[in-house]
Amino acid sequence: MQHANVDAYLPYAGDLAQACIPLGFFTAFCLQHHLLNPEVEQVHADLVTQCRYQEGPVSALFVALGAQLQEQHLSPMGLRFANQVLPGYRERFCEVFGEDSWRIKDEWSHYHRIATLLVRDLHGQPPTARSSWAGRMFGKLTRLWR
């Protein structure tokens, strides 16, 4: 069963190459975090290696999958993650990249911007630092001495 397809992004992007970038970033994230089916990694071993070393276009693996992400491409954990994230993914992609969303280059530096959010979706927010009453007082005292 098809889970995500480039056709859903084509009306916004204007051309096929640009439309592949958002889901290409998502697919690369899934690969980097072991959310893809191991069979996908075996079939596309060369692209997987390039992706792991962050060489070449980020969306290359997604394109090799026919510009669609099907349920059989994902591990069970990857499928749960995709079900959680993909419904609002296009909007979040546009929030991250702003008005340049549909003109960004298929580069790893751009991938890292969205990957930061996806890591939080996958693993949750990092815990906030909580200090004791004594720790807070010590911090205030040290600031006074500066």
- In the chain, the largest separation of any two C-alpha atoms, in whole Å, equals 64
User: pLDDT value at position 139?
Assistant: 65
Q: pTM for this structure?
A: 0.83
CB atoms within 10 A of CB 92: 15
User: Domain count of the chain?
Assistant: 1
Residue 82 or residue 4, greater confidence: 82
DSSP lists the bridge partners of residue 4 as 69
**SS3 of 4, please?**
strand
- Out of 45-54, 103-112, 124-133, least confident range: 124-133
Range of the domain at 32: 2-145
Sorting pLDDT into bands at 50, 70 and 90, what band is 121? Answer: confident
**Most confidently modeled of 120-124, 131-135, 139-143?**
120-124
Sorting pLDDT into bands at 50, 70 and 90, what band is 144? Answer: low
Q: Would strands 68-70 and 2-5 be described as parallel, antiparallel, or unpaired?
A: antiparallel
Chain mean position to CA 67: 16
Average pLDDT of span 3-32: 94
